[in-house]
Amino acid sequence: MRLALGDIHGRNCWKCPPLDNFEEYYITGDYFDSLDIPFDRQRLNFTELCAAARADSRIKLCLGNHDYHYIRGVFGQRYSGFQDEHSACIAEILEKNIDLLKVLYVTSDRFVISHAGVSGAFMGKMKRAGVKDLEGINGAFLENRNVLAFDGRNIYGDDVTQSPIWIRPASLCHDAVPGYSQIAGHTQIGEIREILLDEDRALPAPRRRPAAPFPRRKIVLIDTGDTAAFYRF
């Protein structure tokens, strides 16, 4: 059994997974920029999480947009909640652990786990830049961190052109990269939600449809905020 947990924002809920014998444990990012948790606790929490991930390779950490706007080498990326007075300290601790933070993970049964999701439009852009497959996006980020920069007309990020740290659920459902189910945080919801996708196009499938003989593609939204919930898959 694998686990996935939504955005952290300084909370230590990651320390209490519902089972110990998990195969893999994914966290969708946003480790900083809490509205109510003091910075020292945010910093300690991230340090402890990184130490846990180094000690246990089953723990997989995604990069979120509220981490991205602190890392070095990105241009003009400051979003709501940016902690200006602590930005240098956050940048330093992120750089020390940047090797742990991936844009996305792909499982053998074709799940993609990322902060916000991967659109066909974004993957097309990556392919035009020479990226061969989804996991190649991680390498593209290592070469040029600005490949994840905010890029769209909608100020909320609801645009299919947005990167895997920014796209919103409506745009992701409209243009999810073909052939994969996806697990994403980023947009806070009341409870974990699964959205089934049509097999031939990315739009949500009709409500009434005969049962498929094999698992259907889906988008799973898991950022449940303070009432953190674990998704099992």
| Local confidence band at 200 (pLDDT 50, 70, 90 cut-offs) | low
DSSP code of residue 5: E
193: Cα separation from own chain's centroid: 15
Mean pLDDT of 142-160: 95
Q: Give the HSE-up count for residue 118: Cα atoms under 13 Å, Cβ half-sphere.
A: 27
The per-residue pLDDT for 76 is 84
pLDDT digits (tens, 9 = 90+) for 32-67: 999 999 999 999 999 999 999 999 999 999 999 999
Q: For residue 64, give its domain range.
A: 3-232
> Residue 115 is part of a domain; what is its CATH number?
3.60.21
Listed residue (44, 3, 47) closest to 27, CA to CA: 3
Show the CA angle centred on residue 50, arms to residues 75 and 190, nearest 5°: 75
Calpha distance 165→148 (Å, rounded): 7
Give the number of domains in the chain: 1
Listed residue (183, 116, 187) closest to 150, CA to CA: 116
Sheet hosting strand 111-114, strand order edge to edge: 104-106, 111-114, 181-184, 218-221, 193-196
Q: How high is the mean pLDDT of the chain?
A: 94
The per-residue pLDDT for 152 is 85
Between 221 and 77, name the one with better pLDDT.
221
